[in-house]
Amino acid sequence: MTNSSIIRISKLSKQYGNKEVLRVEEVALRRGYITGIIGPSGAGKSTLLRILNLLEPPSSGDIFYYDRKIPADKAEIMALRRKMTMVFQKSVLLEMSVYDNLAYGLRARKLPRAEIEKRVDTILETIGLSGQRKQRAKTLSGGEAQRLAFARAVVLRPEILFLDEPTANLDPANVELLERLVVQLNQDYGTTVLVVTHNLFQAQRITRETIFFCQGELVETGATEQIFTAPRCEQTDAFVRGKMIY
Amino acid sequence: MVEAVRQAVSLLFPLDGNLSQIILLTIYVSGSAVTLAALMGVPAGTWLGLQPAAKVRWLQRIIYTLMGLPPVVGGLIVYMLLSRRGFLGPLELLFTPTAMIIAQLLLTLPIVIGLTSVAVRTKGKEVVDTLLSLGAERKLLLWTIMKESRYGILGAIIAGFGRAVAEVGAVIMVGGNIEGQTRVMTTAIVLEVRKGEFAFAMALGIILLAISFAINAGLYKLQAGGRDD
């Protein structure tokens, strides 16, 4: 365990029935880094994100957050959960207004009303939805909806942000906006970001470290530049060169 | 039919004293049963809908079966419970509106639980995951899930009300159709048919449908969030 790691995974395994879908021997996420997870579909990337976001338990192995194992106490789990959040590939907006969607997590954290309004108004401005603050979120277009889902996580100023293919199916302008938001959040608040992406250019643009997964196993991890220019494993090399791996 | 409509209008304008009592008791009994079913069934159905399907499959099947519980069987169970030698006999509730409410509650509760659980399950795990990752604690999560599923839940309550207000077998068994005390619209219709007063019975049926329509229209408006579209 290094002082700079915020999450450490040790001998982690996830099985559905008899099938092992994820196996990670040892990996640490650096505090304040944007780390990318790349790999073919079905490699276990999203499953890892869900486990790290405490949405499902691993079958075996340990995860350490801030040098500590996952606590048993419910209040401590909630406190830990509120230090992180996740943007899903398929965003789910709640049946309420754009404003209330953004304020939901802040209200759950019982922040003062003035602080909530200030943060929500600022983020609405940033994502260009100020004019739609009272509009029902379900009536937004696909791009607007994903921007809102993204902003709903960013407005919480989490210590750890998990992103599961957050820009899939978005146009270049929206992709640029969301990437800018991630980098800004990382720089302004030191947020550690773990982003699953199929967009290799995006991984190179915004991440400092990259983890490569294949068939449920962590194959290689390292600085993004090294992974894309001088990978140590043949599988990684084939993947970053655009060759399919199964 | 024309005669039935004419009689229905003449019964309503001016409103007959006995009829108004029957109408009020019908609304009181069915309204109370459905309110209690909603208070118990919505949280129970929400809990059920949030459980993994494999974990609660037998419970779900039992609830679905009870949704089709024959009213006379439900009435018989309540009758046995409330009769002098029954478990709740000392309360002396048999042949009272309270007994009728209990019988209708027994019939509507599985409907509200079953349909609420379906509404919540349909919303899917994605909503729960989203709420958890936004930092919602258990109470807030359950409340939000109920709000998110409100259209389906109101549908469950509407279906429960439909079952209650149309029910006759159980209420006649445990209520006894006593004039001025436990006579409701459906039992009054049965009585009029037995007397051969078909037009009058049909008139009562039309009034019952009108009451049901008015209440369902209100619930529908609530379900549509105040919109009529």
Q: What is the pLDDT of residues A19-69, one digit of tens each?
A: 999 999 999 999 999 999 999 888 889 999 999 999 999 999 999 998 888
CA distance B103 to chain A (A): 36
User: Torsions phi, psi of A88, nearest 5?
Assistant: -90, 160
User: Mean of the pLDDT values across residues A109-118?
Assistant: 96
The DSSP call for residue B89 is G
Given pLDDT bands bounded at 50, 70 and 90, which one contains residue A1?
very low
d(CA A158, CA A84): 5
Q: Count Cα atoms within 13 angstroms, Cβ side, for B131.
A: 22
Is the predicted pLDDT of residue A104 greater than 90, yes or no? yes
Q: Do B132 and A81 touch (CB under 8 A)?
A: yes
What pLDDT shows up at residue B228?
46
Whose structure tokens read 């089709």? B68
Looking at beta carbons, which residues of chain A come within 8 Å of B147? 95
What pLDDT shows up at residue B229?
44
A233 touches B at CB < 8 Å: no
What pLDDT shows up at residue B19?
83
Looking at beta carbons, which residues of chain B come within 8 Å of A145? none
Query: CA torsion angle for A83, A223, A58, A245 (degrees, to 10)?
Result: 140
Average pLDDT of every residue of chain A: 91
Ranges assigned E (strand) in chain A: 5-16, 19-30, 34-38, 60-65, 68-69, 84-87, 160-164, 192-196, 209-214, 217-223
What pLDDT shows up at residue A74?
86
Q: What ipTM did this prediction achieve? A: 0.90
d(CA A135, CA B223): 19
Residue of A nearest to B150 (CA): A95
User: Mean of the pLDDT values across residues A1-5?
Assistant: 63
pLDDT, tens only, B160-219: 999 999 999 999 999 999 998 999 999 999 999 999 888 788 888 888 999 889 988 888
What pLDDT shows up at residue A168?
85
Q: Do A108 and B147 touch (CB under 8 A)?
A: no
Q: Count Cα atoms within 13 angstroms, Cβ side, for B38.
A: 20
CA distance A96 to chain B (A): 9
pLDDT, tens only, B32-74: 999 999 999 999 999 999 999 999 999 999 999 999 999 999 9
pLDDT, tens only, B16-32: 778 889 999 999 999 99
Q: Do B127 and A92 touch (CB under 8 A)?
A: yes
Q: Do B136 and A85 touch (CB under 8 A)?
A: no
Given pLDDT bands bounded at 50, 70 and 90, which one contains residue A246?
low
Query: CA torsion angle for B114, B129, A103, A142 (degrees, to 10)?
Result: -100
Whose structure tokens read 């470290």? A209
